[in-house]
Structure 1
């Protein structure tokens, strides 16, 4: 957790991992906002090129890989839960060529970013961050049931909150993400 009084000495790998983590959050927020347009297209309220959904899901996959690989959490069990659900969601996303169980893949990805949102809400005071896990959890069955408009609204709000988080994160010093290295369980 961020401790402004403590400034950990960061090596190059620490700096790269923090930047990749923050980049993952930024890309995920943009991917959520892009997926809103995909859902509006499915509801026939918007018209998109055929490949737009694939590129949006590719952005979801990239953001998941970036954030899951570089999340900084002291507890190894919490870190493993956040990380492994993301990797599982990524594997399911890559194995779903016909995109028939996107809801399942996104469900695991949403667990990862819900964990990240909760982690960040404990560390930093970002408005709306604690509601993101609820919004993401509700959106999974909405995708499965093809309730596109309701899901678009929830993912849009989540995308904006996470986008605001990413702006706040990029303004912070890098050592805020690392915290105190001695507290990490290996």
Structure 2
């Protein structure tokens, strides 16, 4: 997570990763709005968005960065295995829940704290065949992720990077 008061010089890779992260977060919001109706396509799209977002997010602490990325890597691996795909979806949703909490710390928007509840609620309703309720959780998750994405696009790119010397390897 970056320090907005520090403006590091951004190279082309920095700019690319910021754009990819913001795009993946935006895509996740859109995908959440349809995943309850198109579960197979939505699951694949969310897993792709999760791996893109987690590989391009800028978080200083390597433990949190690897936890979030590890969840997305698990989602990709599980999806490719062809086994019970709701588990891959759950791992991708965990990644976006963690990213929403990260964005809460950036923007201090309290509604973002509800994102993990909305995404977990969607997943549990989906797994337990509660379609009508899963639609409500899906749309709530979509709105919350859209708020995070909109907030992200409004800020300058250097806010995402912060102090390059603070990143743990």
Provide the TM-score with structure 2 as the length reference.
0.92
Q: Which residue is equivalent to 2:18?
A: 18
Classify the secondary structure of the residue corresponding to 1:146. Answer: coil
C-alpha RMSD of matched pairs (Å)? 1.6
Q: CA deviation at 1:136?
A: 1.4
Q: Which residue is equivalent to 1:179?
A: 162
Contact 2:47/2:76 (CA < 8 Å) preserved in 1? Answer: yes
Q: Which residue is equivalent to 2:140?
A: 157
Q: CA deviation at 1:172?
A: 1.1
Contact 2:20/2:56 (CA < 8 Å) preserved in 1? Answer: yes
Deviations 1:62-89 (A, max 9, x none): 2112101111111101100000101111
Matches of 1:135 and 1:127, distance apart in 2: 14
Q: Which residue is equivalent to 2:152?
A: 169
Q: Which residue is equivalent to 1:49?
A: none
**Distance 1:107-1:53 versus aligned 2 partners, 3 A rule:** closer
Contact 2:2/2:58 (CA < 8 Å) preserved in 1? Answer: no
Equivalent in 63, 66, 70 of residue 80 of structure 1: 66
Provide the TM-score with structure 1 as the length reference.
0.84
Structure 1 residues 72-81 or 129-138, which shifts more?
Answer: 129-138
Equivalent in 52, 76, 99 of residue 90 of structure 1: 76
Contact 1:21/1:66 (CA < 8 Å) preserved in 2? Answer: yes
Deviations 1:151-176 (A, max 9, x none): 11111101011112212211211111
Contact 2:54/2:68 (CA < 8 Å) preserved in 1? Answer: yes
Which structure has the bigger radius of gyration? 1
User: Can you give the 5+ residue segments of structure 2 that lack an aligned partner in the other structure?
Assistant: none
User: Can you give the 5+ residue segments of structure 1 that lack an aligned partner in the other structure?
Assistant: 39-51
Q: CA deviation at 1:2?
A: 4.2
Equivalent in 114, 118, 122 of residue 101 of structure 2: 118
